[in-house]
Amino acid sequence: MVKPIDACVLPWLWQRAHLDPDRLALRFESRDLTFAELAAGAEAAARRLVSLGLREGDRVALLMDSSVRSVELIHAAQRLGIVAVPLNTRLTVAEIGVLLDASDPGALVYDFSYSNSIGALSGDRFRAVEAMAEFDSLPLTRIPELKPIRRDAPHTIIFTSGTTGTPKGAVLTNGNHFASALASRNNLGAKPSDRWLDLLPLYHVGGLSILLRSAIDGSAVVLHRGFDARAANQSLREDRITLLSVVATMLARMLDDNRARQYPPCLRCVLVGGGPVPPELVSRAAEMGVPVAPTYGLTETASQVATADPKDAIRKPGSCGQPLLGNRIKIVGADGCGRGEIAVKGPSVMAGYFRAAAETRAVLREGWLHTGDIGYFDSDKFLYIDDRRGDLIVTGGENVYPAEVEAVLASHPAVAEAAVYSVGDPEWGHSVAAAVIARAGVQVSAQELRAWCSSRLARFKIPRTFSFPGALPRTASGKIKRAVLRESFRSRPSV
């Protein structure tokens, strides 16, 4: 029987190491660690963090791929009351610099593979330390005795872009993460034999939540450095995986690689989030023995807030289910068809955006998180999502905000105006498209614009298609009509 942990106890990994010291906690590549062994590694990491001058309430930024060391550091931060700030490793140097400015960390720990980026970022603002050899050479400084964690203490800052393209750091507390884990346990159950396959990066709340919930519930995590469909399928067959969380594109690639073979019966649920889950993907997965549970969640809610049972996913195609334990969802400003903005209330809702009071007030009102997402309930109170945050583009599980991409395009000397919008994509769900107006008497090519973007934007944000219309469709107030651009995409020349 799984021994549950209360939120207001010792840091979760240390409490779990006390309860189940010899149980498998983490498998990474060829290495297995028990909870006791993982806690010992995290304790050493905590002592080295203190040697960098970090203290309770400070922030440590992590520019790292998934690894044993990144797991140790995330747990070590909670041990010390330090706030972990995992950074998206797919971003450009300039984009990472913006996040570091916004989070103001006391130190940055990075993988050696990102050394070239760090030289241009650190300056004298914070101490930058390579995650292996350099970090291991730091002294093992004495640290405070273990003490209970506070439910309201910040645990993590995870960045999500705003509709203006300005990055915002969602402050997630110990209580937020614990409530999310409790809701997941109530929905999925928790067994001593459970093994989560974690293919999502730890800078995404989906990947991080698996790591934290395993320490809370006592389940093992099989962690991959990155996503590879073949390696994921091999792990499902060989590591006795029972639970998995992916985005739709990842699942589709895994099914393609598996070539219609049946998956092991021990796989009891696959959470699929990050955007709409095509009903045909759910049916195809079910035929191969994959029970798919579509979910709806946000960074600001520490992961999922609604999830459909695998049977309901087939019975009610397109739905992401009903609210999980502790969560309330309502539709604000519903139209005649019941569609309106989704608002969420519950213990997993973030404390706010870091050092962004105005942005926090804009979305957190009377305890309700106003998501900006548009959806509706059917007669059985199952939730359906129409649009993700208005203009937000979700491509392969990654969020792209048009305003950010438009600003980069507009900075090109040959561009007068640019409008960025989403178009359907059979592989990624949606992809990024741009309509560009060149300056008078100047020509610019799609190839030139892609090159311009490549040094300023992460690859997934770069438009895959460009069109060059004579004018951009606008409302009477001057706002771009992105819906018109989407509708005319097929008939408009694009490259």
Domains and CATH numbers, the chain: 12-386 (3.40.50.12780), 393-487 (3.30.300.30)
Q: Residue 477: which pLDDT band, with cuts at 50, 70 and 90?
A: very low
Q: Is the pLDDT of residue 331 over 70?
A: yes
Coil, strand or helix at 215: helix
User: Starting at the edge strand that comes first in sequence, how are the strands of the sheet with 24-28 ordered?
Assistant: 31-34, 24-28, 220-223, 195-198, 243-247, 269-273, 292-298, 303-307, 322-323
How many residues comprise the chain?
Answer: 495
pLDDT tier, 452 (very low <50, low <70, confident <90, very high otherwise): very high
CA 47, distance to chain mean position in Å, is 28
- Judge contact between 122 and 97, C-beta under 8 A: no
**C-alpha dihedral over 73, 74, 78, 81, to 10 degrees?**
70
Q: Which two tokens stand for residue 93?
A: 């140097």
Question: What integer pLDDT is reported at residue 118 of this predicted model?
Answer: 84
Residue 23 has pLDDT above 80, yes or no: yes
Tokens 């741009």 belong to residue: 434
**Pairwise CA distance, residues 260 & 248, whole Å:** 17
| Mean pLDDT of all residues in 247-254 | 91
Instruction: Say what the pTM is.
Output: 0.86
Question: What per-residue confidence (pLDDT) applies to 379?
Answer: 96
Backbone φ and ψ of 258, nearest 5°: -75, -20
Average pLDDT, the chain: 92
Question: Taking residues 276-302, what's their average pLDDT?
Answer: 93
Over residues 231-255, mean pLDDT:
95
Pair type for strands 429-438 and 31-34: unpaired
CA dist., res. 70 & res. 79, Å (int): 14
According to the model, what pLDDT value does residue 374 have? 86
pLDDT band at 8 (very low <50, low <70, confident <90, very high): low
Query: What pLDDT, on a 0 to 100 scale, did the predictor assign at position 277?
Result: 86
SS3 203: coil
**pLDDT band, residue 162 (cuts 50/70/90):** very low
Give the pLDDT band of residue 150 (cuts 50, 70, 90): very high
Within 8 A by CB and 6+ apart from 234, the residues are: none
Percent over 90 (pLDDT), the chain: 75
Average pLDDT score over residue span 137-146: 96
Candidate ranges 35-44, 165-174, 250-259, 406-415; pick with highest mean pLDDT: 35-44
The pLDDT, as a whole number, for residue 164 is 46
Please report the pLDDT score of residue 7 as a whole number: 65
Q: At residue 329, does pLDDT exceed 50?
A: yes
Q: How far apart are the first and last CA of the chain?
A: 58
**Residue 428 pLDDT exceeds 80:** yes
Quickly count: other Cβ atoms within 10 Å of residue 107's Cβ.
Answer: 19
Is residue 61 classed as helix, strand or coil in its secondary structure? strand
Of 6-15, 36-45, 259-268, 455-464, which range is least confident? 6-15
Question: Is the CB of residue 212 less than 8 Å from the CB of residue 12?
Answer: yes
pLDDT at 478 over 70: no
Check: CB of residue 49 under 8 Å from CB of residue 73.
yes
pLDDT tens by residue, 192-227: 899 999 999 999 999 999 999 999 999 999 999 999
390, pLDDT greater than 80: no
How far does CA 451 lie from the centroid of its chain? 27
CB 351 within 8 A of CB 341: no
Q: Are 385 and 276 in contact (CB under 8 A)?
A: yes
Higher pLDDT, 166 or 56: 56
> Quick check: helix, strand or coil at residue 471?
coil
How do residues 81-137 score in pLDDT, each as one tens digit? Answer: 999 999 999 898 988 999 999 999 999 999 999 998 887 776 677 899 999 999 999
The single-letter code of the amino acid at 167 is P
pLDDT reading at 418 higher than 60: yes
Q: How many alpha carbons fall within 13 Å on the CB side of residue 57?
A: 0
Separation CA 283–CA 492 (nearest Å)? 34
Check residues 117 and 494 and name the one with the higher pLDDT. 117
More confident residue, 5 or 411: 411
Three-state SS for 262?
Answer: coil
User: 3-class SS at 428?
Assistant: coil
Residue 13: the pLDDT is 98
- Choose the weakest-confidence range: 13-17, 79-83, 189-193: 189-193
Predicted confidence at residue 163, as pLDDT, reads 40
Of the candidates 234, 243, 245, 388, which has an alpha carbon nearest to the alpha carbon of residue 303?
Answer: 245
Q: Kindly tell me if the per-residue pLDDT of 366 is higher than 50.
A: yes
